[in-house]
Chain A
Amino acid sequence: AQSVTQPDIHITVSEGASLELRCNYSYGATPYLFWYVQSPGQGLQLLLKYFSGDTLVQGIKGFEAEFKRSQSSFNLRKPSVHWSDAAEYFCAVGLTSGTYKYIFGTGTRLKVLA
């Protein structure tokens, strides 16, 4: 069965520190991969996506993610975190079997210390 795992429920980092949020997926075919961010009381905003090609993708707000097929991972990174990055982050897999379903992980809540 298809699934997305975000092993870290909460992460706390200091402002200016680097960040890596982990995401692992289970899917038999090549997936489409996404990272979304959700601020309190808001909907989900797309940070970046991977469909094919270069496995390192750049997104908005200085985020990047790397697709590693051998590890079934799509980790999100940012070299220097800003206080405004505090939010919840969701990894998602788009199934490519023609159904266009998207499966979301349970999210990682990021806290940024001043």
Chain B
Amino acid sequence: DARVTQTPRDKVTEMGQEVTMRCQPILGHNTVFWYRQTMMQGLELLAYFRNRAPLDDSGMPKDRFSAEMPDATLATLKIQPSEPRDSAVYFCASGLNIESPIFGQGTRLTVV
């Protein structure tokens, strides 16, 4: 089965450190999404790309978060500097046009 691969699965870091999360979308998919899941807010869309171009990153705190797709096989989400309130599970999902996105296993981030 094709799957979306996210690394790392777990990350513990100190406040102020840079965090980079990576996502390998399914080959052939042209949309990539980054979601953040917390108990309080549920699933929040942070950013998404179509054909590697960012279409919407309005859900992302611009001062510390950045999302890129350097090539079709890699999407990255970076937080610099990280803060304790960034602790959450970050999901990447990929899809083909309007087809339902397929989710990765997530990266659990803990900022202490």
Contacts and interface: CB of A to CB of B under 8 A. Distances in A.
Interface of A: 32, 34, 36, 42-46, 49, 51, 90, 94, 96, 99-107
Contact of B101 (A96, A102, A106): A102
A88 B91 CA distance: 16
A101 B105 contact: no
B55 interface: yes
Contacts of B45: 101-103
B43 A46 contact: no
Contacts of A42: 105-106
Interface of B: 4, 31, 33, 35, 42-43, 45, 48, 50, 55-56, 91, 93, 95, 97-98, 100-106
B56 to A, nearest CB: 7
A42 B89 CA distance: 10
A76 to B, nearest CB: 15
B57 to A, nearest CB: 12
Contacts of B35: 104
Contacts of B4: 43
A45 B101 CA distance: 9
Given A94-B98, A100-B95, A104-B43, A44 B56 contact: no
- Counting chain B CB atoms within 10 Å of each CB, the highest count among A43, A45, A104 belongs to A43
A61 B4 CA distance: 22
B56 A101 contact: yes
B97 A100 contact: yes
A66 B48 CA distance: 29
Given A34-B100, A90-B43, A107-B42, A102 B105 contact: no
A36 B43 CA distance: 12
B31 A100 contact: yes
Nearest to A94: B98
Nearest to B35: A104
B48 A101 contact: yes
A19 B93 CA distance: 28
Given A44-B91, A102-B33, A94 B42 contact: no
Given A32-B98, A103-B45, 9 more contacts: A34-B100, A42-B105, A43-B103, A43-B105, A100-B31, A100-B50, A105-B42, A106-B42, A107-B43
